[in-house]
Amino acid sequence: MINILAVDDEDDVAALYKVFFKKEQKKELVKLHCVKSGKECIDFLNSSEGEDVHIVLCDINMPEMDGFEVLTRIRQTMESVKVFMISAYDNDEYLDKAISLGSERYFTKPVDFNLLKDTIQEFYPEYKAS
């Protein structure tokens, strides 16, 4: 089972992830957790439940702690966690910064969910999305 943590301050985005991964959750291919802030993300990853997270889907523009700071903190202590940065801004500056800080992938909103599934399967071949 692949454990995914989605981080976004917008409730509707969490709802989209829940719908998107619904079949995979029923088949026990994915366990999805959603949090609303960078602080909640770091707290979750440092908890016993967060020890098994494989992928973080992290929005960039959030209040208090942006996605770049979240990515930096994850890279400092959790090198095995894959981080996919997500932003409404499709620009080279954000892409370059995300990659330079250690993000595996960069997606723009609205997220192309088929591409996201393909990317997850690229890292985890056992993930057979429907």
pLDDT per position as a tens digit, 79-130:
899 999 999 988 899 999 999 999 999 999 999 999 999 999 999 988 776 5
SS3 43: helix
SS3 102: coil
pLDDT of residue 89: 87
DSSP state string for 53-72? --EEEEES--SSS-HHHHHH
Residue 59 has pLDDT above 90, yes or no: yes
pLDDT of residue 129: 62
pLDDT of residue 128: 72
Q: What percent of the chain has pLDDT over 70?
A: 98
What region, left, alpha or beta, does residue 5 occupy, with left being phi > 0 and alpha being psi -120 to 50 degrees? beta
pLDDT per position as a tens digit, 98-111:
999 999 999 999 99
